[in-house]
Amino acid sequence: MPDSNLGQGKAVLVGMPQAEGHSSLPFALQEVNAVGTSCTSMQLQVAKPRSLWGEVLSALECSIFQPAGHGQTNNSDPLQSAMILTDGCLAVAEIFKLNLRSRGPFLAYLSACGTGRMRHDHLIDEGVHLIAACQLASFQHVIGALWEVADETCVEIAVKIYEWVKNHGMAYDSVSEALHQACRSSRSA
């Protein structure tokens, strides 16, 4: 059953097509724009802060958070694994400190490579990565990747997920169903 309060929230969308030392992501802004259109049609206020650490961190009190860019895994200190921003990184340790529970954030869709990856063998069972950080910050649903993802495919998957959620409501089962349907559709294409 959809939660009517969630539809009155804000979607924070951050596109980062360029990151120093990383390949260009020409579809990141296309993804953010497409998601923005879907979120607007779901009556969400869409915010697109610049990809600056302070602006992104202060905007995280939202219903939906979707960065589209590069993620990085820190092998020696998983708490420093992060989403790469223009002026630095939004690290797992910083997200762990957030308590957004009173705001009831609905979805963190981390459209970046390796947001659920753990490369430190000693900590492989610990789940110290960006997905877990968003869960602990109180996002009810988190979508991320365990491996490298193709930039153009990210747009396709995101559009399908948000269309499903738009058509089926921001309900507790709609996100998992949306991801399942989007992946099946992408595999069969």
Query: Residue 150 pLDDT > 70, yes or no?
Result: yes
Which of 3-17, 117-131, 166-180 is most confident? Answer: 166-180
Full residue range of the structural domain in which residue 119 is found: 6-188
**Is residue 78 very low, low, confident or very high in pLDDT (cuts 50, 70, 90)?**
confident
Q: Among 46-50, 65-69, 127-131, name the one with the lowest average pLDDT.
A: 127-131
Residue at 82 is within a domain: yes
Give pLDDT, residue 120: 60
**Number of domains within the chain:** 1
88: left (phi over 0), alpha (psi -120 to 50) or beta: left
**Is residue 29 very low, low, confident or very high in pLDDT (cuts 50, 70, 90)?**
very high
**What is the H or E stretch that residue 27 is in?**
none
**Is residue 7 very low, low, confident or very high in pLDDT (cuts 50, 70, 90)?**
very low
Query: Residue 26 pLDDT > 50, yes or no?
Result: yes
Q: State both tokens at 157.
A: 């998957």
Looking at per-residue pLDDT, the higher value among 38 and 127 belongs to: 38
**Is residue 107 very low, low, confident or very high in pLDDT (cuts 50, 70, 90)?**
very high
Residue at 1 is within a domain: no
Mean pLDDT of the chain: 86
Residue at 156 is within a domain: yes
* Parallel, antiparallel or unpaired: strands 82-85 and 71-72: antiparallel
How far, in Å, CA of 19 to CA of 138, rounded? Answer: 28
For residues 41-55, b (16+ Cβ closer than 10 Å) or e, as one string?
ebebebbbbebebeb
**Is residue 101 very low, low, confident or very high in pLDDT (cuts 50, 70, 90)?**
confident
Instruction: Answer whether 83's CB lies under 8 Å from 90's CB.
Output: yes
Residue at 148 is within a domain: yes
Q: State both tokens at 27.
A: 């579809």
Global confidence as pTM: 0.88
Query: Residue 92 pLDDT > 50, yes or no?
Result: yes
Q: Tell me, what CATH number does 67's domain have?
A: 3.40.50.1460
